[in-house]
Amino acid sequence: MQGLNRHIRLAVLAGSLFANASLFATPDVVALNKQPLRQDLLAVRQKIAEFLTTQTIGYPGEVGISVGLIDPNLRLTSCHDLEVFIPKGSRVWGRTSVGARCHTPSAWTIYTQATVSVSSAYIVASKPLAQGRTITSDDLMFETGDITQLPSGIYTDASQALGRVVNISMQAGTVLRQEMLKQAPVVQQGQTVMVVSSGRGFSVSAEGKAVTKANEGQVVQVKVANGQVVSGIARPGGQVEIVF
């Protein structure tokens, strides 16, 4: 009987210890439960891709976006207000850097690499072009490629280049850039022009001879029939506009 009672007491004691085991485990369990949720890095990359897609609306041609991997060893707190931004000095073009920052519940900022490609048609010289030549449609042809890998100032619209003057001689296949072409004068020196003077309630026209050459919108001097030299604004079609 004493042995039986002893076993009963041990069983009761064991049950009591088991029932109260949670008292000893509670601090660890609570600490574990209070661990902040980790930020899903794949979700951050998706957010960056969406941001870049929005930023490239209106780009010519077909846009491709690739977001680089984020270090999987990062342990970032899950963010309630994730913000994506372009660091100062970067742009949404070609290989670039993109930032993502969080304000709550914990503040953190990370940066990753991304690539924005733009497949589009651009203009090249269809033949060798000599300095001083005025560009016509026969001088141009289109090629297609990733224009983010080309120098800045390229032409993607033929109308932007037509009528301009070659500033520097180039070989066939040269990618045309704005610095290679200059605006053709609309008034040449010695050209006979029509001087149009206008003001409130009147307009007078008279022929004259240009003393200087000028591009559209530039000031040009013109000698009229009585020998007087007047100044006006050069316009296409050999016109010089004087407004009072």
What confidence category does residue 18 fall into, taking pLDDT thresholds of 50, 70 and 90? very low
pLDDT digits (tens, 9 = 90+) for 44-63: 999 999 999 999 999 988 99
| Confidence at residue 25, expressed as pLDDT on a 0 to 100 scale | 46
| Confidence at residue 242, expressed as pLDDT on a 0 to 100 scale | 87
Share of the chain above pLDDT 70, in %: 85
195 close to 222: Cβ distance less than 8 angstroms: yes
| Confidence at residue 168, expressed as pLDDT on a 0 to 100 scale | 94
Residues 20-27 have a mean pLDDT of 47
**pLDDT of 11 higher than 50:** no
Q: Considering just the CA atoms, what is the radius of gyration of the chain in Å?
A: 37
Long-range contacts of 131-134 (CB under 8 A, 24+ apart): 131/166, 131/167, 131/168, 131/169, 132/165, 132/166, 133/165, 133/166, 134/163, 134/164, 134/165, 134/166, 134/184
Which CATH number is 192-243 given? 2.30.30.760
Query: Between the ranges 23-32, 100-109, 222-231, where is the mean pLDDT highest?
Result: 100-109
| Confidence at residue 33, expressed as pLDDT on a 0 to 100 scale | 53
133 vs 19, more confident: 133
Three-state secondary structure of the chain: CHHHHHHHHHHHHHHHHHHCHHHHHHHHHHHHHCCCCECCHHHHHHHHHHHHHHHCCCCCCEEEEEECCCCCCCCCECCCCCEEECCCCCCCCEEEEEEEEECCCCCEEEEEEEEEEEEEEEEEECCCECCCCECCHHHEEEEEEEHHHCCCCECCCHHHHCCCEECCCECCCCECEHHHEECCCCECCCCEEEEEEEECCEEEEEEEEECCCECCCCEEEEEECCCCEEEEEEECCCEEEEEC
Tell me the fold of 119-182: Type Iii Antifreeze Protein Isoform Hplc 12 (3.90.1210)
Can you give the residue ranges of every domain in the chain? 41-118, 119-182, 192-243
pLDDT digits (tens, 9 = 90+) for 61-95: 899 999 999 999 999 999 989 999 999 999 999 99
Assessment of whether the complete model's pTM goes beyond 0.85: no
Same fold, 119-182 and 192-243: no
